[in-house]
């Protein structure tokens, strides 16, 4: 059972960042803006969040580790939102090609982060290390519940609960609020939305900024869960989140299952050696490739039935209404 619990908890480590970033992409694309720059926003957000944690450690801050993580998360969200404002300005105000703009931002983010890290570091290193552990060994009372306590309330990261809260809030916003309905209208029929007084430009800006905020937080969640240093790289998680978004058909209730699916494949790839029946097999290379094979297979079979917002990627011009 301990192996099973380890694999499940490991799948949360990979699933939560994917879930947060994919939900961010959903807000942007619901508004009609393709946010290819999720990878760059993750890098940018993680840089400022990890940088804050490093500064607190150097200053000998007495902050509780979870409070420090929450503050770092807020900083990461602000950084990710500011970064995505570049995409919003180019795509909405300048009406530039959104795919090209997003690709340029993805190339820009790691270069800026590595340059800033080396410029600010007295040792001229290109990574930021941190030593604070954000793992909760056991949640009082809840950790004693059989099975559920072992899975959800022991050796777990607070980001799991933040990710669940973000998913619930996202579902309510998209499905139950006027803002969510108007945001979706801007991505489906912007001319019709404009005709009833909805400012399409404002909603597209809002969707893109929310997208960047969540991607920045997802970048921090990925780094603090998987490593103890940040070198300006999130290992393609932003692009994998786009695959989750497509597999989830731009719907929050499906995105969460898509994130769990990819998280489980990543978890299996990193923990297969714990399973005695397959640990000695000479096909380790297959398990390491499994997440990418699953991604290709899922996109091949699911993209045919996926239905993206009709007007995503198309710049809106009020003068052509």
Instruction: For residue range 193-221, list pLDDT tens digits in order.
Output: 988 889 999 999 999 999 999 999 999 99
More confident residue, 3 or 182: 182
Dihedral sign, CA of 30, 87, 227, 141? negative
Residue 171 or 148, more confident? 171
* pLDDT score of 82: 95
Band of the pLDDT at 134, cuts 50, 70, 90?
Answer: confident
Degrees to nearest 5, angle at CA 225 with 224 and 229 = 45
In the DSSP assignment, the letter for residue 145 is S
Q: How far apart are CA 49 and CA 21, in angstroms?
A: 16
Angstrom distance (rounded) from CA 180 to CA 190:
14
Task: Using only the alpha carbons of the chain, give its radius of gyration.
Answer: 20
Tens of pLDDT, residues 247-268: 888 999 999 999 998 888 887 7
Residue 176 has pLDDT above 80, yes or no: yes
For the chain, the average pLDDT equals 87
Q: Which of 66-70, 206-210, 234-238 has the highest mean pLDDT?
A: 206-210
The confidence score (pLDDT) of residue 280 equals 67
3-state helix, strand, coil split of the chain in percent (to 5) is 75, 5, 25
Q: Decide: 81 and 219 in contact? Cβ < 8 Å.
A: no
Higher per-residue pLDDT: 319 or 23: 23
Q: Determine contact, residues 38/211, Cβ cutoff 8 Å.
A: yes
> 40 is written with which tokens?
């760059």
Q: Place 88 in a pLDDT band, splitting at 50, 70 and 90.
A: very high
Higher pLDDT, 308 or 37: 37
Better-scored residue on pLDDT, 214 or 120: 214
Q: Strands, DSSP E only, in 142-238?
A: 154-157, 229-230
């Amino acid at each position: 059972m301990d192996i099973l619990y380890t694999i499940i908890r490991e799948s949360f480590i990979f699933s939560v960042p994917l879930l947060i970033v994919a939900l961010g992409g959903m807000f942007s694309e619901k508004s009609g803006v393709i946010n290819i720059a999720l990878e760059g926003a993750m890098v940018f957000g993680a840089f400022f969040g990890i940088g804050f944690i490093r500064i607190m450690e150097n200053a000998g801050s007495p902050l509780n580790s979870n409070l420090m993580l929450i503050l770092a998360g807020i900083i990461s969200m602000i950084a990710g939102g500011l970064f995505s404002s570049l995409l919003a300005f180019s795509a909405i105000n300048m009406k530039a090609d959104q795919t090209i703009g997003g690709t340029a931002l993805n190339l820009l983010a790691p270069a800026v982060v590595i340059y800033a890290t080396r410029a600010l570091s007295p040792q001229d290193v290109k990574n930021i290390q941190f030593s604070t552990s954000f793992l909760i060994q056991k949640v009082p009372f809840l950790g004693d519940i059989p099975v559920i306590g072992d899975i959800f309330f022991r050796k777990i990261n607070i980001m799991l609960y933040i990710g669940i809260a973000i998913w619930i809030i996202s579902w309510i916003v998209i499905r139950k609020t006027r803002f969510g309905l108007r945001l979706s209208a801007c991505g489906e029929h912007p001319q019709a939305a404009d005709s009833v007084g909805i400012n399409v430009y404002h909603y597209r800006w809002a969707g893109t900024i929310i997208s960047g905020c969540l991607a920045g937080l997802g970048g921090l969640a990925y780094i603090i869960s998987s490593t103890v240093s940040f070198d300006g790289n999130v290992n393609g998680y932003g692009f994998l989140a786009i695959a989750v978004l497509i597999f989830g058909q731009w719907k929050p209730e499906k995105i969460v299952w898509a994130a769990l699916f990819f998280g489980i494949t990543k978890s299996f790839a990193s923990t297969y050696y714990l399973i005695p029946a397959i640990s000695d097999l000479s096909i380790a290379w297959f398990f390491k490739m499994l997440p990418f094979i699953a991604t290709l297979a899922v996109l091949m079979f699911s993209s045919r039935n996926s239905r993206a917002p009709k007007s995503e990627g198309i710049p809106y011009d009020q003068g052509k209404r």
